[in-house]
Structure formats: structure tokens, C-alpha cells
Amino acid sequence: MAESSVDGPAPARTLEGAGAIVTGGASGLGAASARALVARGARVALVDVNAEQTERTAGGLGDSAVALTADVTDEDAVSKAVEAARQQIGNLRVAVLCAGVGWAERVVARHGPAQMEFFQKVMQVNVIGTYNVLRLTAAAMAENEPDEDGARGAVVMTASVAAFDGQIGQTAYSASKGAIVSLTLPAARDLSRFGIRVNTIAPGVFDTPLLGALPEETRDSLAAGIPFPSRLGQPDDFALLACQLVENPYVNGETIRLDGALRMAPK
């Protein structure tokens, strides 16, 4: 066991007054993350393609939140959103990237081979969109004055357990989320010279608007398959871990499964 430093462990990063940007912030995991950040004293810019819902979500968070509209795959739109966030909430020190889409289709189905347009769409949003926001928010963080530990910011990306346990029909989604997992460590190493940490959360089965459309019987069945706790993950569970990853100064380059010990069956 390593001996403790004479000076003791580095203190947790405080979120009080920190500027944060959350993509996919209009609902689900992003909205929960924005709420948690505001509750900890951060000023948050919610970014989403759904302008009306983003305004409504940000409005519910009071003066500590602003709503911005951008498609994460659009370089110019995200660049403008990052700059607008810096002007409205101050220097960005936190980014939580939750924007994403899903699609279910087998490689070969009754109609023939899978449709390339849907595979490309999932990869475009989940991989290109995530990388686009990562690079632009990190560039903004790199301009921050470092704290006493040399830190300038922290990024939390969103993968999925599908990156590891992809089910039948999840080739596009699993491939996109596997790319986020693979991106995490080299991005953390790339940005280490700026004092910017990068971590990823891989959620399991979460009670988001997507699952909300399922019948109650199906939702109960999904929950029963989770070892413990035997319930669907809540967006607040994700938000709690996102904040903890920002606050803990020594967690870097990690992908953490958040799934109640679930391992997905083939179907």
C-alpha cells in the first residue's frame, strides 16, 4: 500500500461558481446533470437541439442556468454555443456530454442488409458529436488559469454498457459507444498537459424518456434483471456520478459502468 503524502490528499474540486456546459441538457441524463451541477453552486449552460424544451428546463433552474441551441455535429453551432456559454456563465471548467441517439437494426434482416443511413446517423451524433464538443470545450478550458493543483477543467462523456455487452440489433449503438470508451484514455492523456481530466460513464438500463414509452410490464421486466438494486437507473444516479467525477481530482482516463452489476444478455 502506498504511503500517504505528508501534505495529505488533494482536496475535492468545488463546483461553487464553476462554469459548466451540458449537452443533451433538455431532458434525461443531461437535464439531471444540469440540476445536480446547479445544486452544487455551478452556473450551467444547457445545450440541445430542442430549443423549446431546453428553454423550459433551464428556466426551471433559475438564474444559474442558460439555454443554448446547437446540433452537436455542427462545428460552427457548437463553437458559437461554447463562446456564448463563456460570455453568459464565465470560464468553462466542466463539460458533461450527454447528447446521443440510438437505433436498433440487425446487420441482415428480413428486408436485407442494414440501412447505412441509420448506422451513419448514430455514428455521426454519438461519436463525431461527442468529439466535436470535447475538442471545443477542452480548447476553452485550456485558456483558464490553472488552480493550485494545475487543473483547468474536467470533461465527463457518456458511453453505455452496450459498448461491452451489445445486444442483437445494437451494432450501430454499440459501435458508437465503444468508440467513446476507446476515446477516453487517449483524450485524457492528450489533455493532461493542460490540466484537463476526461472520464466516461457507461450507464446500464436507465429510466429516461426513451424507456418511458415502454409498457409498465416491460419496464418491470428490465428492472428485475438488474442484480442490485433491482430497479431502473435514475437520471439522478447518473448526475451524482458525473459530479463526483468532476469533484475527485485524481480520477482520470476512466470509464465507469453504472448499471447495478447488470450484464446484458444477447437479447
What residues are labeled active site?
Answer: 173
Helix (DSSP H) and strand (DSSP E) numbers for the chain:
10, 9
C-alpha gyration radius of the chain: 19
Question: CA quadruple 95, 238, 247, 179: dihedral positive or negative?
Answer: negative
Three-state SS for 78-138 is HHHHHHHHHHHHCCEEEEEECCCCCCCECCEECCEECCHHHHHHHHHHHHHHHHHHHHHHH
Spell out the residues 6+ positions from residue 85 whose beta carbon is closer than 8 angstroms to its own.
Answer: 19, 21, 45, 47, 66, 68, 92
